[in-house]
Amino acid sequence: MLTVATGNKAVATAVKHAKPAVVAAYPITPQTEIVEQIANFVETGEMEANYIPVESEHSSMAACIGASATGVRSFTATSSHGLVYMCEMLHWAAGARLPIVMANANRALGPGWNIWAEHSDSLSMRDTGWLQVYVGSVQEAYDATLMAFRIAEHEDVMLPVMINLDGFTLTHIMQPLETVDIGDFIPPCKIAHAIDTANPGGYGTLTPPTEHFKFRWDIERAMRDSVDVIRETEDEFARRFGRRYAPVEEYRCDDADVVVVAMGTLGKEAEVAADILRNEGIRAGSARLRWFRPFPAIDFGDKELVVIDRDYSFGYGGILARELQAAFGITPYSVIAGLGGQEVTYDDIAGFVRERKPGAEFWFGVSD
Amino acid sequence: MPEIPKEEYILRCTSACAGCSSSLVLRYVFKAAGPDSVLVVPACCTSVIQGIYPNTAMNIPVYNVAFASAAAVASGMSTAFRTMGRKTNVICYAGDGGTVDIGIQALSGALERGTDFLYICYDNEAYSNTGMQRSGGTPLGARTTTTPCGKKDNKKDLDRIVAAHNLPYMATACSAYPLDLYKKVKKALSIPGPKFIHILAPCPPGWRFPSAETIEMGKLAVKTGMWVLYEREYGTFSLNGASKAAMKKRLPVRDYLTRQGRFKGIDEETIGILQQTVDRNMDRYAREVEGIC
């Protein structure tokens, strides 16, 4: 069905279609609309799930853990301070191998209070064992949410998945949305290690170093296996519903001399910037990184890279730029832009490319 | 006398200390709950007592969770079980630190939301698992490793905080009275909605008394009025067992304090405050029994 929706509405609609048994959530700007929509679906009987209105985000993830431990599908959504408040439980969810799905409306962290887009919240959770995908449009928010359940619950993965969408610039903007009849795209949730009172066991018991090591390696092995599961899921999604996704969305990259790498909505803006630059004779392209964990393998060849980070690791650098540098031995032009919702247009991005200085770091609106 | 099931759900060779009352409590909790139960355990002595992976000393599924999260995990778990049409008992089993301090927000939320579960706080009045540090449950005057000169603050009145949630059933119990405890767990699990039982669990190494005196120490707590056995069922208050006798005539708190190394060197003024607190609490309970407040 073709409609028009916000990013938040797209996520809520996908969750309704995925039919989780339990949704536990706490409101926070700019995620609020997701949980309002779901609570409304549940109250009006549009959705059969149980909605637990928890008293904090720590408890929303805890309640999802408790629900998932029994073997049912669960979902939550959060943003910014809510995400970092549940940090401990993010580790717990992944360590307990529970396929919880969560939407995170990317937002800056205080102080001072700032409710606008930034990736520092989710990127500071990058080592929790969660898969992370960053979306660039309302349609993609819907599609990625549906796929997240199938990927998380796949027996080779059994890890939680976080869908990240930029606060306001995606959560609150209206775009066309085509919803689908998902049929059996998401198989019934089966968790082999769900609690079984007929066969009692200890879960998360005191674990000595040798065993702890094995469990951590198991997480990494699942993370590596998830690469294939993501590809299979995205292929199957394309086959059924006609929309194709990849871990990195490349735009006019094949013959490009310089490629802009970014995540989320800035990655979409970069595509427009590439068109502008091409008209000027600069062979530019855009590579929008969708999956941040597992980190994708990309072959940039000898192309120059302009990496836009909507985040920063203090004392080190832009997180995406530094990860790409570490993974592929490249020396990008690192642009720090869009923090706390700073407006960054495609013209600005074109400007970053024109004035690129490989190896340098540029803070947009500050450095100049 | 209730018929106590012969089945044992705590197997031999747990990692509990000698004379541990918490294991005794849990033994009766399991007997009352039966096999269709899940125990949700935050960081506490029971995290260790259950044994080390891949073994478990419990014949009931035990779901270990982060310190602050027990009641919230139970919320999700209970909701999921009920969604599946399963009546499985969801029981949080948490220490005093995990309840009155770091876990109180999750507990309050789960109670307010009407979660169908039983929350048991076994109270050994300190962070015993980490070596006896002060908690909000530690009584005035008690020495811990973080209150080496004796605690200067009063024990947090957890029960009045819980009672303010107007839950259908709450009770107190003590490891020294296992039949009373058994009956209360049974009754709690027969009632839908949120239930709470606060159980005093004397700790020989933490309180510094000989491990053979665990039961005696619990009885002394009740006979002096330092611990009171009662129930609140749909708002109706009733005193139980030895606390009825203690209402009329009780031993001085000094008899309880002087038996424990943690109160060594406690001054007369502090003993006086503790005695006054007991007397004031007992007066309040007497008025409640008479329906005056």
Looking up tokens 């069922």, which residue turns up?
B233
What is the SS3 assignment for A177? Answer: strand
Summarised one tens digit per residue, pLDDT across range A63-83 is 999 999 999 999 999 999 999
What is the SS3 assignment for A185? Answer: coil
Pairwise CA distance, residues A342 & B54, whole Å: 51
CB contact under 8 A, A52 and B113: yes
Mean pLDDT (whole number) for A229-246: 98
Pairwise CA distance, residues A132 & A148, whole Å: 9
Q: Which residues contact A64 (CB under 8 A, 6 or more apart)?
A: A22, A24, A74, A75, A76, A93, A98, A100, A102, B76
pLDDT beyond 80 at B268:
yes
Helical packing angle, A7-18 and A32-43, nearest 10°: 40
* pLDDT for residue A368: 59
Closest CA to B154 of B270, B292, B35: B270
* The total number of residues written for chain B in this structure: 293
Summarised one tens digit per residue, pLDDT across range A8-45 is 999 999 999 999 999 999 999 999 999 999 999 999 99
Mutating which of A22, A51, A55, A91 best tests the B interface, going by the most B Cβ atoms within 10 A? A55
Are the C-beta atoms of residues B221 and B198 closer than 8 Å to each other? no
What's the pLDDT band for B64 if we cut at 50, 70, 90? very high
Q: How far is A19 from chain B (nearest CA, A)?
A: 13
Half-sphere exposure of A362 toward its Cβ, with a 13 Å CA cutoff?
21
- With an 8 Å Cβ cutoff, the interface of chain A facing chain B consists of 21-22, 24, 50, 52-56, 58-60, 62-72, 74, 88-89, 92, 195-198, 200-208, 211
Summarised one tens digit per residue, pLDDT across range B193-219 is 999 999 999 999 999 999 999 999 999
pLDDT beyond 80 at B151:
yes
Closest CA to B196 of B138, B126, B117, B288: B117
- The distance of Cα B6 from the centroid of its chain, to the nearest Å, equals 23
Are the C-beta atoms of residues B62 and B216 closer than 8 Å to each other? no
DSSP A50-80: EEE--SSHHHHHHHHHHHHHTT--EEEEEEH
* pLDDT for residue A25: 98
Summarised one tens digit per residue, pLDDT across range A316-332 is 999 999 999 999 999 99
Percent of the residues in chain A that have a pLDDT greater than 70, as a whole number? 99
Mean pLDDT (whole number) for A234-244: 98
DSSP A196-256: -TTS--EES-B--HHHHHHHHHHHHHHHHHHHHHHHHHHHHHHHHHS----SEEEES-TT-
CB contact under 8 A, B105 and A69: no
- The distance of Cα A23 from the centroid of its chain, to the nearest Å, equals 18
* pLDDT for residue B109: 98
ipTM above 0.95, yes or no: yes
Q: Which residues contact A325 (CB under 8 A, 6 or more apart)?
A: A331, A332
Q: Which CATH number fits domain A248-363: 1.10.3720.10, 3.40.50.920, 3.30.450.20, 3.30.70.580?
A: 3.40.50.920
Mean pLDDT (whole number) for B35-59: 96
Q: Which of A55, A65, A92 sits opposite B76 (nearest CB)?
A: A65
CB contact under 8 A, A200 and B106: no
Pairwise CA distance, residues A201 & B123, whole Å: 25
Structure tokens at A152: 């998380």
Mutating which of B9, B14, B46, B69 best tests the A interface, going by the most A Cβ atoms within 10 A? B69
Q: Which residue of B has its CA nearest to A211?
A: B53
| CA-CA-CA-CA dihedral for A64, A65, A66, A68, to nearest 10 | 80
pLDDT beyond 80 at B139:
yes
Q: Which of A58, A62, A205 sits opposite B76 (nearest CB)?
A: A62
* pLDDT for residue A69: 98
Are the C-beta atoms of residues A56 and A28 closer than 8 Å to each other? no
Domain locations in chain A as residue ranges: 2-184+205-241, 248-363
- The distance of Cα A314 from the centroid of its chain, to the nearest Å, equals 22
Is B33 near chain A, with CB under 8 Å?
A: no
Summarised one tens digit per residue, pLDDT across range B274-293 is 999 999 999 999 999 998 86
Paired sense of beta strands B230-233 and B169-174, if any: antiparallel
Q: How far is A203 from chain B (nearest CA, A)?
A: 5
Q: How far is B24 from chain A (nearest CA, A)?
A: 19
* pLDDT for residue B235: 85
**Dihedrals phi, psi of B102, to nearest 5 degrees:** -70, -25
* pLDDT for residue B291: 84
Pairwise CA distance, residues A154 & A31, whole Å: 27
CATH number belonging to domain A2-184+205-241: 3.40.50.970
Cβ neighbour number for residue B282 with a 10 Å cutoff: 18
Residue window 62-101, chain B: list those with CB within 8 Å of chain A: 62-66, 68-69, 71-84, 88
Pairwise CA distance, residues A222 & A161, whole Å: 12
Are the C-beta atoms of residues A106 and A115 closer than 8 Å to each other? no
**Dihedrals phi, psi of B144, to nearest 5 degrees:** -135, 180
Which residues on A lie below 8 Å from B72 (Cβ)? 24, 54, 58-60, 62-63, 66
What's the pLDDT band for A150 if we cut at 50, 70, 90? very high
Q: Which residue of A has its CA nearest to B86?
A: A70
Structure tokens at B285: 């309970």
- Kindly state the DSSP code that residue A310 receives in the 8-state scheme: S
For domain B21-289, the CATH architecture is 3-Layer(aba) Sandwich (3.40)
CB contact under 8 A, B61 and A200: yes
